[in-house]
A and B are shown apart, each in its own frame.
Chain A
Amino acid sequence: GAVVSQHPSWVICKSGTSVKIECRSLDFQATTMFWYRQFPKQSLMLMATSNEGSKATYEQGVEKDKFLINHASLTLSTLTVTSAHPEDSSFYICSARVRLADTDTQYFGPGTRLTVL
């Protein structure tokens, strides 16, 4: 299957700082990428859809000014958590949409664990 990477795999930062997470499709081009968040013992929650060359579409309740998404190329999307606070500590996972013969699917990155002190 297609490979999606994320960097960093984990990050610890102080409250009030900004953190950037990169998501790359390694062996294919992805016009659409997605960002999810997962709190402990909970399921994945979709935060936003990132489209190459256009603005991201955010899910209800997700602050677009706090979670900045940039999809500057067909292989890279970035999520910046601005002015991070302890409640932003979570597991952030990206995915990329891949077209198949009859439909499409999403391949996920390994995730980035963010801890805000």
Chain B
Amino acid sequence: DAKTTQPPSMDCAEGRAANLPCNHSTISGNEYVYWYRQIHSQGPQYIIHGLKNNETNEMASLIITEDRKSSTLILPHATLRDTAVYYCIVRVAIFGGSQGNLIFGKGTKLSVKP
């Protein structure tokens, strides 16, 4: 079972920031938080990952609470093309180990509206 809890759906106005929450209250000290998204009928796209520090890249920002029990993915200026299902995944960072497999939950369906 997925170790994360996400709202099933969210709406966001085009041009505004989209803030997608994720609860991972049972996260272990050696587990990372990963975010992927899946646009309809495509393969998932890697967005960002983090351990405990906040992270930012060209796609998004990841804010992880100090106790690491929750995080928020921020798309600073959402566009219609950001409409997708967003998956928050917690996994151990063991290169080559099966414990590090990505287990997908149901994610959050983000609808960006004009």
Contacts and interface: CB of A to CB of B under 8 A. Distances in A.
Interface of A: 1, 4, 6, 31-32, 34, 36, 43-46, 49, 57, 91, 93, 95, 97, 99, 102-111, 113
A106 B93 contact: no
Top 3 closest pairs, chain A to chain B, by CB? A103-B93, A108-B43, A44-B104
Interface residues of B, number: 25
B41 A102 contact: no
A43 B38 CA distance: 10
Interface of B: 32, 34, 36, 38, 41-46, 49, 51, 87, 93, 95-96, 98, 100-107
Contacts of B100: 104
A113 B41 CA distance: 9
Contact of B98 (A1, A57, A95): A57
B49 A91 contact: no
A45 B102 CA distance: 9
B101 A93 contact: no
Contact of A102 (B46, B93, B106): B93
Contacts of A49: 98, 101
